[in-house]
Chain A
Amino acid sequence: MPEPGRRKWQCRTCSEIYDEAAGLPEYGIAPGTRFEELPDDWVCPMCGTPKSDFDLVAD
Chain B
Amino acid sequence: MPLLRSLAHLLTELRRTLLAERVTVQFPFAPAELPAEFRGRVILTDEALCKGCGLCVRDCPALALELERQDREHFRLIHYRDRCAYCGQCADSCPSHAIVLSNELVSPSQERDTLTQVLVEHAPDSTG
Q: Report whether chain A binds chain B.
A: no
Chain B residues packing against A (C-beta within 8 Å): none
Chain A residues packing against B (C-beta within 8 Å): none
